[in-house]
Structure 1
Amino acid sequence: MTAGQHGDEETCDVVVIGAGMSGLMAATTLADKVDVVVVEAEDRPGGRVETVREGEYWINVGTQFTEGTGPLIDALDRHGITMGSLADTGVGLVLNGALVDASDVLALMFRTRMTLMDRFGMALVGARILCAVPFLESDGRLAKRVRAGLDRRPASDLLRGVRSELARAVVRSWSGQWMGCEPEETAATQLVTSIGIALTDPAKVPNFALPVGGNQTLTDVLAADLGDRLRLGATVRSVETSGDGVVVTYDGGGRRVRIRAKRAIVSVPTDVASRILPELPETYRGALADIRYGRYVIVGFFTEEEGPQPWDGLLGVSTPQLSFQAVFNHAAALRKEGPRMPGGALACFAGGASADALFALSDEEITDRFARDLLTVYPQLEGRLGRGIVRRHHRVVPFWAPRGRASLPTLRSPLGPIHLAGDYQLDMPSLADAATSGENAAKAVLSSLGR
């Protein structure tokens, strides 16, 4: 509840703008210590976390996986949310109609009917990625130099000297699949990291899992904990400093509301932050502009098969020659124990330029294209696909253009009483990074208030 209220002007200790993962984590960290209000423009909390459920199965139609360490995993544990492990699953790749294990180099080279030029191109790209991967997490001097070089170069440099159209299609597909952009748009670091994860054993990724019931299970719990402190359908118009505090103006419920608070946490996409912060210094405005966002079209299908299927042990399959670039198998997290339940849940992803080309189509046209191509990968699904659940995401995963990451430290510093939070603030945008950023912002606010 707010500390005071008079007409359409209210007061509280802290206002959190945005109820995605970082905003929810910030607000729930603050809730027991200060008077907090959360304002969210959409009619539901969660941001890019969204799950559709049907019976025992679910499909994440926003962000896909949970991994990493820190506040996100702590919150899942604290709320007793069961995790479906993906540690024993694999990643497949479909090339020229053949499905192979993406980590099996020999199968990739010799079971997919590639030409000699294709094999050379794939080997060159793979070698460049695998040579860089060991330096991505080390703190040594050489590792820092390698990462700095990758930060300066576009990801399209992976294709330097590669004449194989197939190899080029694979890299573009991976860029679209993992980041929602084209290789020319992003620095090499992020794409190399993403592909490196795909080519290694998922068991090596800390806490690589799917919350049972989907990622929205956690955001639903966090939102419920906030109760009436969370205001949906509240579009923020401005966040401005006033004395040693802030004034947040928003439209909601047919009225304009002003909240005077001691502090604000702005946890929204960077272009929205630039719009609602009129006093933003140019250094911050430029740093926010350095962050871009990937785009996706997702179609989820609940399926009606019975008995073991060839995709049961795969968490995902890359499909660079189809209308979508990847299929994620959400049911993989439920296949570890007991007899296999009938049915399943699959999500087909198209990102980057592939998504751009699909945005103009109707949901029915997109579903038909994806369903036809999915059946070429798994003909066993003929007659067993449910209705397509379509989501169009024009702004999802943050990424940096070459040299863009250099301005990131600016965004980690508060603007007086205004703190920024979001999955763009740390090194590898993810759900875990979003949660960590939100908690970090909340702790900084509490410290500034002497709490």
Structure 2
Amino acid sequence: MVGLSRRGFLKASGATALLLNTSHARANEAADVIVLGAGLAGLHAALQLADAGASVIVLEAKERAGGRVQTLFDLPGIPEAGGTQLSSNYRRFVGLAERFEIPLMEDSPMQRDGAPELYVAMRGQSVLPDQWAGHPLNPFDGPLANLPPWALPFAAMGRDNPLPEIASWRDPDFAEWDKPVSEHLGWTSEQLRLGFGINPGYGASAYSQSTLMWFQIMKAIAAPGGRLLTVDGGNQRVPNAMAAALGDRVRYGRAARHIESDADGVVVRTMDGSTYRGRDCVITLPTSALRTVDIDPAPPRLQQRGIRSLPYNRVVRAYFVPERRYWEEDGLPPSIWSDSYAGRIFALRGGGGTEITMMQSFITGRAAELLDRMPQSDAMALIQAEIEHVRPAARGALRPVAYVSWGNDPYAGGAYACWAPGQISAFADAVSQPHGRLTFAGEHTAVRARGIEGALESAERAVREVSARN
């Protein structure tokens, strides 16, 4: 438990019960704390609060736990649709897996022997990794010419990092670096397109990504001792176990539409007409989903600006079962880094095995934006056609089985937060500030970590803030 005494919370709970019996008799249900979202941040906060003796209700819009951690349990090799990257440095996540006795494996389903099996398919040409240096499609000279396109952002942004530690990205002394990556690097347009525009990890181009965000990412990656991990049986097993421990305190299909608060407590109304009353509310929704929720009284202007404008990375994942081993027919590596609408095509080996069980097309940036404007069936057909175009041996060999768009998910609005230039210095601190009895959490509010571990970090900070009010 982080910063919260059982006695202190139970004392506050008595006051809450009195309020519930008088001022808010219309409430359908009541608890000490209402938590919005059953992703990792919401579940972690709820478990800590419950462990301290607080009554908790978790409201989740979807019919499953995990948020943006999602395992496709019904597909061969049980691939991940979200929350893919795990590290042994994620001490909170590793601790939760140990708590629920869920094994972790040192393995990555997109890699073999520690390295991606990728070749470049660009402008109608297939280029093997050992052919890339000096190839006419390679716009770089010097050391960067020896790196494949997928390694360029990390090599470029890993140099001359001014941050003394991970948390320094939120320090105003480093606000000068909250500028576009394009401005920081000074590369040509073709170099920027190759490194940050074709298959971008963040945003859609080097012009829409903050250099300061990248410095924080690189500082986190540089932490010593990190090893890639995956959960035996699927990453979603961990949030599923967390939700099971909370039992019927997690209410599914409860999308928040209105939050009203005063000095004494909070009322949350959901889309189905239910009402929930608590002394405090922990909001773990990504800002892209929180934009659809009315908050009364409204947060301060700067916090509103952050909620309205923080972008989330559009990610599309399409899954295909290979019905023959076509990569053995053409002799090329099984995975592809392409400049097509199929993006990166990864050969997945499920469950730590050696056999390829699935092909995953991982699409970001402008290509994902275009696909998100199409009917899903048309988007899937286009992706398959693009794979077959860049790799003729795959024709007739791929059976489409699943499609996931995080950008079109109304309760996600994207896969993860992507800070645009100027946003960190403008409102990164503001979006995570408490607003009366409302506390905000989620990976976008974390300081020392990102992604999965950032979500858990933010939950612990949120619990400390609730404690300080009671």
1:292 aligns with 2:318: no
What SS is found at the alignment partner of 1:43?
coil
Query: What is the one-letter code of the residue matched to 2:361?
Result: C
C-alpha offsets along residues 172-205 of structure 1, whole Å, 9 cap, x if unaligned?
Answer: 0242xx225333222134457769999x9xx967
Closer, same or farther: CA 89–400 of 1 in aligned 2, 3 Å: same
TM-score (structure 1 length as normaliser): 0.79
1:114 aligns with 2:137: yes
Show the counterpart of 2:126. Answer: 98
Show the counterpart of 1:32. Answer: 51
Instruction: Name the CA distance, whole Å, in 1 between partners of 2:445 and 2:419.
Output: 11
Show the counterpart of 1:425. Answer: 445
C-alpha offsets along residues 389-446 of structure 1, whole Å, 9 cap, x if unaligned?
Answer: 1122222211111121122122333223211001101255311111221232123323
Closer, same or farther: CA 278–7 of 1 in aligned 2, 3 Å: closer
Q: Is the 8 A contact 1:154 1:187 kept in 2?
A: yes
C-alpha offsets along residues 99-119 of structure 1, whole Å, 9 cap, x if unaligned?
Answer: 545xxxx65314x5536x555
Instruction: Name the CA distance, whole Å, in 1 between partners of 2:443 and 2:463.
Output: 15
Q: Is the 8 A contact 1:245 1:261 kept in 2?
A: yes
Q: Is the 8 A contact 1:15 1:39 kept in 2?
A: yes
1:324 positional shift: 2.5
1:16 aligns with 2:35: yes
* Mapping for residues 163-242 of structure 1, pairs under 5 Å: 163-164=189-190, 168-175=193-200, 178-191=201-214, 206-242=226-262
1:302 positional shift: 3.2
What SS is found at the alignment partner of 1:218?
helix
Closer, same or farther: CA 292–281 of 1 in aligned 2, 3 Å: same
**Could you tell me the percent identity over the aligned residues?**
21
Q: Is the 8 A contact 2:265 2:279 kept in 1?
A: yes
Show the counterpart of 2:8. Answer: none
Show the counterpart of 2:369. Answer: 356
Q: Is the 8 A contact 2:217 2:450 kept in 1?
A: no
C-alpha offsets along residues 356-389 of structure 1, whole Å, 9 cap, x if unaligned?
Answer: 2112333333223323443566666555433231
1:332 positional shift: 6.5
Show the counterpart of 1:405. Answer: 424
Query: What is the one-letter code of the residue matched to 1:76?
Result: A
Instruction: Name the CA distance, whole Å, in 1 between partners of 2:103 and 2:127.
Output: 31
Query: What is the one-letter code of the residue matched to 1:130?
Result: A
Show the counterpart of 1:276. Answer: 294
Query: What is the one-letter code of the residue matched to 2:126?
Result: A
Show the counterpart of 2:99. Answer: 78
Q: Is the 8 A contact 2:120 2:336 kept in 1?
A: yes
1:231 positional shift: 0.9
What SS is found at the alignment partner of 1:39?
strand
CA RMSD of aligned residues (A): 3.9
| Runs of 5+ consecutive residues of structure 1 not aligned to the other structure | none
1:351 positional shift: 1.5
Instruction: Name the CA distance, whole Å, in 2 between partners of 1:93 and 1:194.
Output: 25
Instruction: Name the CA distance, whole Å, in 2 between partners of 1:374 and 1:86.
Output: 26
Show the counterpart of 2:403. Answer: 390
Instruction: Name the CA distance, whole Å, in 1 between partners of 2:216 and 2:395.
Output: 36
What SS is found at the alignment partner of 2:73?
strand
1:354 positional shift: 0.9
Instruction: Name the CA distance, whole Å, in 1 between partners of 2:57 and 2:264.
Output: 18
Show the counterpart of 2:178. Answer: 152
1:13 positional shift: 0.5
Show the counterpart of 1:318. Answer: 337
What SS is found at the alignment partner of 1:371?
helix
Instruction: Name the CA distance, whole Å, in 2 between partners of 1:362 and 1:241.
Output: 40
Query: What is the one-letter code of the residue matched to 2:101?
Result: G
More deviation, 127-136/282-291: 127-136
Instruction: Name the CA distance, whole Å, in 1 between partners of 2:424 and 2:239.
Output: 28
Query: What is the one-letter code of the residue matched to 1:230?
Result: V
Closer, same or farther: CA 187–42 of 1 in aligned 2, 3 Å: same
Instruction: Name the CA distance, whole Å, in 2 between partners of 1:127 and 1:218.
Output: 33
Q: Is the 8 A contact 1:132 1:146 kept in 2?
A: no
Query: What is the one-letter code of the residue matched to 1:217?
Result: R
Show the counterpart of 1:139. Answer: 164
C-alpha offsets along residues 232-262 of structure 1, whole Å, 9 cap, x if unaligned?
Answer: 111222222233322222233xxx2332211
Query: What is the one-letter code of the residue matched to 2:290?
Result: A
C-alpha offsets along residues 246-285 of structure 1, whole Å, 9 cap, x if unaligned?
Answer: 2222233xxx233221111011121443533232111321
1:36 positional shift: 0.1
Closer, same or farther: CA 211–382 of 1 in aligned 2, 3 Å: farther
What SS is found at the alignment partner of 2:94?
helix
* Mapping for residues 237-248 of structure 1, pairs under 5 Å: 237-248=257-268
Instruction: Name the CA distance, whole Å, in 2 between partners of 1:119 and 1:196.
Output: 26
